[in-house]
Chains A and B, each alone.
Chain A
Amino acid sequence: MRYAMAIDTKKCVGCGDCVVACQTENNVPIGYCRDWIVENVSGSYPNVEIELRSERCNHCDNAPCVRCCPTGASHIVEGGIVKVTHNECIGCGACIQSCPYDARYSHPDGYVDKCTFCDHRLAKGQSTACVEVCPTSCLYFGDLEDPNSDVSKALKNRSWKVLAPEAGTKPQLYFLT
């Protein structure tokens, strides 16, 4: 099993619903977030393009944050989800430094926090909060090893890119372009 997410930049309108849904689902304190939206504008008027990306932890196959963690608090669970065990985390910040995507942040209670792909929902057969709320249905989630999963189907017929592939992290967020 290899969980992954595809984000259709052609459909995303950058509304931020994924951000609020994540905050309320995962009790992320106000002022913090596990996912966010980037808008890239290029060209010059009137030949302008916008790329909108809903970003979060890439749950990398080769996760530098897990490698750098001195206590093993950062670890990989079934399906390739990168997680942090709060009471093993010493808050040293090594994982924050090691992440090319800036996906981790220091929770006000001290430990480092990040996207969990809503594994508590996956366990109940649901999808992630952001996927299920997205008004444009531009997020696809599922098991890459299952050819019938939403994410596999989304990737099959579209061109895509990953962010900072040169960082060598083998990220698992695929941006459909």
Chain B
Amino acid sequence: MKEELFVSGRNIPNIDPYLNIWHWEIPIYLFLGGLAAGIMFFAGLFYVMGKEKEMVTTVKWAPFLAPVALVVGLFALFLDLKHQLFFWRLYTTIRIESPMSWGAWTLMLVTPLSLIWAATYVKEAIPGWNWRFSILKKLEAQIIKYRIHMAWVMMGLAVILGVYTGILLSAFNARPLWNTSILGPLFLVSGLSTGLAATMWMSKSHHERKVLSRIDMVLIVVELFLIIHLLMGMLAAGQAQVEAAQLFLGGEFTVTFWVFVIILGLTFPVTLEILELFGYKIPIWIPSLLILFGGLMFRMIMVEAGQITRFLY
């Protein structure tokens, strides 16, 4: 029999539970970051492709969600801080090696950009809207001229943002479940997929939904592939990673992960989308909601499960 116990100090309630320091705030933040990245990426993409008219929700209306998601996400991040008065310290330095610092700065760029993008469509969204100050009007006119450049920048930043939501976790090599570079692309794809889901839900155009739905199917398949890859990679690695993967393969997170993420969050909605392709009538909100829910659960589970994985010594 092997036995490991603390004979002093560390078995105390003030420390150990708090080593599990991230609760709901971080997964919410990661989820909303990914969602915003997805929305902005496709807005940029279709604008660049010149499909502004065709994909009107994607390019014009859905992006109104992005700044909201980002601000709420940032607020969740702020809630997570234990020393909140000093949050401004994030912006007195750039730490190249710290994903948290990268994220803070990326958001610093992405959030205003998402606001500006949305602002350029305010007039179209709200007929009769008046910017009141002439300077704003002039500014708007100037900015609209540069929409194409903005679209490119937005796509770039969206990819960085999406990848970042995964890299934030994968940078922690002390948590074997997170410590895999596949988390970057995986979270990016998942973020894009949730962004699409939200956009689809908003869209009233059958054509637009169909286009988005097809892209989404591909993304979900890629996501499933990446998840399998993640687990395979872990099972092929060291004992700590094997035990981390086993959290999802018989361990305590097995049911939540397979039911909420794999089945309800990915497989079921993709099946619905395929069925719709074959002409079955599926209310769009069902797959959309499931994808959004699955994306949130995925982040919740990854954050929670990752924190109980550790190196063995």
Contact = CB atoms under 8 A, between A and B. Distances in A.
| A/B touching: CB–CB < 8 A | yes
Contact of A168 (B7, B100, B173): B173
A4 interface: no
A76 to B, nearest CB: 13
B146 interface: no
Contacts of B174: 64, 97-101, 167
B304 interface: no
B13 interface: yes
Contact of A31 (B2, B5, B14): B14
Interface in B76-131: 77, 80-87, 89-90, 92-93, 95, 97-101, 103-104
A170 B263 CA distance: 42
Contact of A71 (B13, B21, B80, B92): B92
B172 interface: yes
A33 to B, nearest CB: 4
A98 B7 contact: no
A70 interface: yes
Contacts of A67: 95, 97-98, 171
A40 interface: yes
Interface stretch (A82-90, A116-124, A133-141): A82-90
A99 B132 CA distance: 53
Given A14-B8, A70-B95, A44 B1 contact: yes
Interface residues of B, number: 51
Contacts of A37: 6-10
B238 interface: yes
Contacts, number: 169
B236 interface: no
Contacts of A163: 311, 313
A163 B312 CA distance: 9
Interface in A74-129: 86-94, 96-102, 105-106, 108-112
A139 to B, nearest CB: 14
Nearest to B15: A105
A105 B19 CA distance: 6
A108 to B, nearest CB: 8
A14 B4 CA distance: 13
A109 B84 CA distance: 11
Nearest to A97: B172
Nearest to B100: A70
B27 to A, nearest CB: 13
Contact of A111 (B6, B77, B83, B99): B83
Contact of B15 (A32, A72, A73, A111): A32
Interface centre among B83, B238, B240 (most CB of A within 10 A): B83
A94 B6 contact: no
B22 interface: yes
A70 B8 contact: no
Contact of A89 (B3, B12, B86, B92): B86
Contacts of A29: 14
Contact of B12 (A31, A96, A98, A108): A31
Contacts of B18: 105-106
Contacts of A98: 171-174
Contacts of A96: 19, 21
Interface string A13-48: 010100100000000010111011111111110000
Interface of B: 1-10, 12-15, 18-19, 21-22, 77, 80-87, 89-90, 92-93, 95, 97-101, 103-104, 171-175, 238, 240, 307, 310-313
11 contacts: A16-B7, A38-B6, A39-B5, A64-B173, A68-B99, A68-B100, A70-B100, A90-B89, A91-B81, A93-B80, A97-B172
